[in-house]
Amino acid sequence: MRALLEGPAPVVAPRLLGSFLRSTIGGVETGVVITEVEAYTQDDPASHSFKGPSRRNASMFSGPGTLYVYRAYGIHWCPNVVVGPVGDGSAVLVRAGVPFLGHAHMADRRGRQDHLCDGPGRLAQALGIDGRHDGLDLLAVGAPVTLSAGEPLPGRTMPRVGISKAVERPWRWLADGPVMSGPLDHES
């Protein structure tokens, strides 16, 4: 799996569609099939790594398979899979997924039965991922959050959402199906 993550973010991102993101937090097991992702590279003005390494984004410069978790709008934790070589500052934001394990626990964490994982903040909350998990090796046996290969899902590309810079880059991939985190008004 680590070799799959060693390429450029715009190449690796669509490969993650269909992969499994699992968590075991407080003895509770939950998991999703990844259905939507966005790529970010160090030369991308919309990326947290654009201005170089800092305390906040240090995990983005770690090796492939590292979990980079940041807080958006001071409210939502957002999970990213670091890709590319060490020092590259590239990651793939996991925007949405379909629950396959621990649906009831996800609903309890989210306080609702619907819209459990259709956005990066919702997905992180449903899986119990927060800032304490930043820097974890997603491929380590026994890690509280893990990533594993699944059956690749076909999908389509479109512009990223929720950013104000480099919005024209079609670096968002959406698996064919019902779970997505943003509008479809810029399909390509």
Tokens of 137: 């090796």
pLDDT at 162: 78
pLDDT below 50 — which residues of the chain?
183-188
- Its pTM stands at 0.91
Cα separation, 45 vs 71, whole angstroms: 18
Give the amino acid at 71.
R
H or E element, residue 84: none
The pLDDT assigned to 161 comes to 81
- Provide the greatest CA pair distance for the chain: 42
For residue 50, the model assigns a pLDDT of 82
- Angle, CA 34 vertex, CA 91 and CA 181 arms, to 5°: 85
Note whether 83 and 7 are within 8 A (CB): yes
